[in-house]
Amino acid sequence: MTRINARTSLQADVVVVGAGPAGSTTAREAASRGASVILLDRATFPRDKPCGGGVTIRCANLLPFSIEPVVEDVITGARLKIRGGREQVRDAEQPLTYMTQRRHLDAFLVEQAQAAGAEFRDGEPVTEVRAHPDRTYTVGTRSVEILTRVVIGADGANGVVGNRLGYEAAASAAVALEGNHVYPDGVPDRWKHRVALHFGRYPGGYGWVFPKGDHVNVGVGGWKHAMGPRLREHLDAFCRTYGFEMDRLEQLRGHHLPMQRRGMVMAAQGSAVVGDAAGLVDPLSGEGIYAALASGTAIGPVIEDYLAGRVSSLREYQAVLERGLMREVDASTALMDIFHAWPDPFVWMLGHSGRFWQGGVDLLRGDATYEDLTYSFGRPGHALLKPASAIGRFITARRLRATER
């Protein structure tokens, strides 16, 4: 019996698998440099995704266009609380974060990639990625088979591209559970323009309330090994602290956040991984859209050089990240170790010290980096960072072991 291959054969310079912020940015960057690009996603767009949808100003500034059409609230302040303590309200004179819904944000970013010339095919789960000896690749779904010189994995944690091409998977070190409390008549004023952040009860993380157009997004997240089995319990307690009922939350969803193990390979020959597929989530805040856009932006010029034969592989992309984003991941990791060992003084200072709050404002707006913050207490303070983070890790591990007993 003859088997008929019903798949359509296509060719492209670049195939990007996954149309989240990392994939659509990669596709837009490559297409705007003249490459023929096919962007694939298994979901039918617009699609939702478990995410707070917070786009910090530093993140939005990475884009060459405004995301205003999908912004539902502009955050200018925060309501900060540690355990059962009194809430501290801080405000900034400027916008800090845009609140979006991923269903709208991601579709909008895909439209920008299409406008730059990328071909978008949704509802196409990629199941096959093969490297050939002549340095080309085949990317296959049920309906198409694409021959390409470059394949980019933007398919999130444990994505198929990394898996098929032998990349090490990022550790799913953090977990989060979130849902929406809907206000059909509009979000009450008390929740508008500020995020509520709750610390001290969630090992490695925090609880949040993020305002959107007709609902607030309510969630908790933290280290998988410490929070994982008790996520629902944590969210229930968080809801009670802020006057919500967990049972009334809509679209309740849990999800893993991938975290890089330092030294992981992110590019080889004509392939690379970007965004969550490379585990590029900010360890301290859990912010992942920034790194998704930053990695998608960083790889654009490298793809152009590779296709033009000016470089022999995409490895320069990894070098670019090592010089920039990865230094931020390192600084954020060190600050995370310190913060979670001693959250009380840090939350108190955020709530009471103008200088400390301004540091957070500058970070969210991109006027300072994590590395800059590590110099807030001068060179001696910076020199103490490594030992302090090691002590922090030790204290946290001991505390967690004690609570597990």
Ligand X SMILES: Cc1cc2nc3c(=O)[nH]c(=O)nc-3n(C[C@H](O)[C@H](O)[C@H](O)COP(=O)(O)OP(=O)(O)OC[C@H]3O[C@@H](n4cnc5c(N)ncnc54)[C@H](O)[C@@H]3O)c2cc1C
Name the site residues for ligand X (rule: CB under 6 A).
Answer: 17-23, 40-43, 49-54, 125-126, 154-156, 159-160, 176, 178, 219, 255, 257, 275-277, 281, 286-290, 292
CB 318 within 8 A of CB 266: yes
Residue nearest to ligand X (CB): 288
Shortest Cβ 163–ligand X spacing (Å): 9
Cross-sheet strand order for the sheet of 73-75: 54-56, 97-99, 73-75
Helix (H) or strand (E) holding 217: strand 215-223
Specify the residue, 275 or 392, whose C-beta has the smaller distance to ligand X. Answer: 275
DSSP 218-243: EEEEEEHHHHGGGHHHHHHHHHHHHT
Distances (CA, A) of 324 to 104, 167, 327: 29, 21, 6
Shortest Cβ 391–ligand X spacing (Å) = 29
- The distance in angstroms from the start CA to the end CA of the chain is 63
For the bound state, the minimum distance from the C-beta of residue 269 to ligand X, rounded and expressed in Å, comes to 21
Q: Minimum distance between the CB of residue 142 and ligand X, rounded to whole angstroms? A: 11
Half-sphere exposure of 403 (CA within 13 A, CB side): 12
CB of 3 to ligand X, least distance (A): 23
Q: How far, in Å, CA of 367 to CA of 204, rounded?
A: 26
Nearer to ligand X by C-beta: 109 or 385?
109
Residue type at position 223: W
Q: Which is nearer to ligand X, 195 or 347 (CB)?
A: 195
> For residues 156 and 351, which CB has a smaller minimum distance to ligand X in the complex?
156
Whichever of 237 and 349 has its CB closer to ligand X, that residue is: 237
Q: How far is the CB of 89 from ligand X (least distance, A)?
A: 20
User: In sequence order, which residues have a C-beta less than 8 Å from that of residue 28 and are 6 or more positions away?
Assistant: 109, 112, 113, 116, 118, 296
Q: Which is nearer to ligand X, 73 or 287 (CB)?
A: 287
Q: Which residue has the tokens 């405000």?
A: 91
Torsion of CA 168, 292, 282, 256, to 10 degrees: -60
